[in-house]
Chain A
Amino acid sequence: MFGYVVPYKPELKIRDYNYYKAIYCGICLQTKKIGNIPRVFLNYDFVFLYLILKEHFNIQEEFGNTRCIAHPQKKGVFIKSNKILEYVSDQMVMLSFLKLYDDYVDEKRLISFTLYNVLRPYLKKITRMYPTSFKKIKELFEKQLLLEKSECQNIDEVAHNFGQILAEIFAYNDDPKLREIGFYTGVWIYLVDAIDDYIDDVKKKRYNCLKYHLQRCKENSALFEREISILKVSLDNYLARLNGLIKGYNNQLLDNIVQLGMYSKTEEVINKLKANFFKELKM
């Protein structure tokens, strides 16, 4: 994943901030049990997954103190291992593995391939625990590659497929609500990432799902504004649904992430594209 699902810090309470960091440390320490190398892929997005699952299953947490390699000076609080934490860390390793595979197939990067082979034994351990969900995710991932290869012009078709991958990851016990949360998160991540990478992708002649719609706007700023406003409205709609779904959990940190963190990220990437679109893509 990409690190877009983060809280909006200026509005975060210190208490929530510390708790957020404790989860992050918890995931890191949990991943250590699988192996030290996968810890490289530690990602803030999975804290969101943990928070959702924790609220959903009403997990009681225990805290501990530790020092870690990255910050040996400070003693940090972390969350002690529990079932959910295990699951989250497993999923993180699995997903980063698939991402590496994707990078390798996509760009033929040697580093990705080496890492992929290094990670392979870890993956075997994990996939044995979740065989059906792994099979499904792998299928969806392959479909994703196919859609991107065939330069799919339908924004929703690609994003929808990606959303289903996250739906599969979020749905720990096949719960439809978790599935829906995962789906909307995934669609949003995919679209925001596409907007964020658009200029880079065009320059490097890579696939981007917005290309079909935005390419026509090169000389027409009115059309560009229209496309952007359509994107903005649809992104907000996804977030509004997500917001409705997490309301039931009554967790301030989750509210902050969905209502402020994701909102400000949307604004940020859209404004960035707006500012650079005509400047950078001049013929």
Chain B
Amino acid sequence: MRDPYEILGVRKGATKEEIKKAYLELVKKYHPDKFKDNPLRELAEEKLKEINEAYNILMNDQYSSYEYSTYDQNSIYQQARDLIAQGNLSAAENLLNQNPQNDAEWFYLMGIIYQKRGWINQAYRYFVEAYSRDPSNFEYRRAKEQFETTSRNYEWSAYNRGYRRHDDCDICTICQIIACWECCCDNDVGC
């Protein structure tokens, strides 16, 4: 993606007011209504999409001014993934830390780095964050659930070996036990 400032035709570091003004003018210029029955219509729609995207990025402060022009957002993630695959975790971490984004993929990749390093608590935190930002993504969900399954399995092994919390015996359990008891007693085989 190109530099969002360039797309909107404003100088770098422009205020939100200026950006908004430039944006509204561009929207007016490329509005689809102007291109009815015009061969340029598709081109204008394409352009408008780009403008909207640039505007959203600038207004939500997702733009980090020094890195954007050199790296495409997706390629940062691709680079980080490559670095992780090579086992160069600190380089991957540096790359991600220099480009702090607020999206699910960023949190997910940070999580992977920490997981590889054995920092379980931090890794799990990042996976939870990635999942909450994009619950539909299978990769994020699997990473988060992996931790939960391990935890559950361990807990299960403790229960199977006989650890019981003694405050579990509430009124419901007692009623259930009595009910079961009565079933047995009513039968001939019971007490």
Residues of A contacting B152 in the complex (Cβ-Cβ under 8 angstroms): 236
Q: Known: A259-B158, A260-B158, A260-B162. Contact between A155 and B151, CB under 8 A?
A: no
In the complex, what distance in Å separates the CA atom of A262 from the CA atom of B104? 34
Count contacts on B: residues with CB < 8 A to the other chain: 23
In the complex, what distance in Å separates the CA atom of A172 from the CA atom of B147? 31
Are A156 and B114 in contact, CB atoms less than 8 angstroms apart? yes
- Stretch of B1-9, B27-35, B117-125 on the interface side: B117-125
Residues of B contacting A263 in the complex (Cβ-Cβ under 8 angstroms): 154-155, 158, 163
Expressed in whole angstroms, the minimum distance between the Cβ of B81 and any Cβ of chain A is: 22
In the complex, what distance in Å separates the CA atom of A236 from the CA atom of B121? 10
Contact residue among B121, B155, B157, B158 (Cβ-Cβ distance under 8 Å from A234): B121
In the complex, what distance in Å separates the CA atom of A157 from the CA atom of B122? 9
Contact residue among A8, A156, A239, A256 (Cβ-Cβ distance under 8 Å from B122): A156
Are B119 and A236 in contact, CB atoms less than 8 angstroms apart? no
Contact residue among B119, B147, B158 (Cβ-Cβ distance under 8 Å from A233): B147
Are B163 and A260 in contact, CB atoms less than 8 angstroms apart? yes
Residues of A contacting B158 in the complex (Cβ-Cβ under 8 angstroms): 259-260, 263-264
CB-based nearest A residue for B146: A237
| Binary CB contact string for chain A from 157 to 174 against chain B (1 if under 8 A, 0 otherwise) | 101100000000000000
In the complex, what distance in Å separates the CA atom of A260 from the CA atom of B151? 14
Residues of B contacting A191 in the complex (Cβ-Cβ under 8 angstroms): 121
Residues of A contacting B118 in the complex (Cβ-Cβ under 8 angstroms): 160, 183
Residues of A contacting B151 in the complex (Cβ-Cβ under 8 angstroms): 232-233, 236-237, 240
- Tell me whether A146 is interfacial, beta carbon within 8 Å: no
Query: For this complex, into which size category does the number of interface residues on chain A fall?
Result: 20 to 34
Residues of B contacting A159 in the complex (Cβ-Cβ under 8 angstroms): 121
Are A234 and B120 in contact, CB atoms less than 8 angstroms apart? yes
- Tell me whether B165 is interfacial, beta carbon within 8 Å: yes
Are A160 and B154 in contact, CB atoms less than 8 angstroms apart? no
In the complex, what distance in Å separates the CA atom of A235 from the CA atom of B157? 15
- Tell me whether A238 is interfacial, beta carbon within 8 Å: yes
Q: Known: A160-B118, A260-B158. Contact between A233 and B163, CB under 8 A?
A: no
In the complex, what distance in Å separates the CA atom of A183 from the CA atom of B119? 12
CB-based nearest A residue for B167: A271
| Binary CB contact string for chain B from 112 to 152 against chain A (1 if under 8 A, 0 otherwise) | 00100011111011001000000000000000000110111
- Tell me whether A214 is interfacial, beta carbon within 8 Å: no
Q: Known: A156-B114, A156-B120. Contact between A267 and B165, CB under 8 A?
A: yes
B interface residues (Cβ-Cβ under 8 A, vs A): 114, 118-122, 124-125, 128, 147-148, 150-155, 157-158, 161-163, 165
A-B contact pairs, 11 of them (CB 8 A): A11-B161, A155-B122, A160-B119, A191-B121, A236-B152, A243-B154, A259-B163, A260-B163, A263-B154, A263-B158, A264-B163
Shortest beta-carbon contacts, A-B, top 7: A156-B119, A236-B151, A240-B154, A234-B121, A263-B158, A156-B122, A233-B151
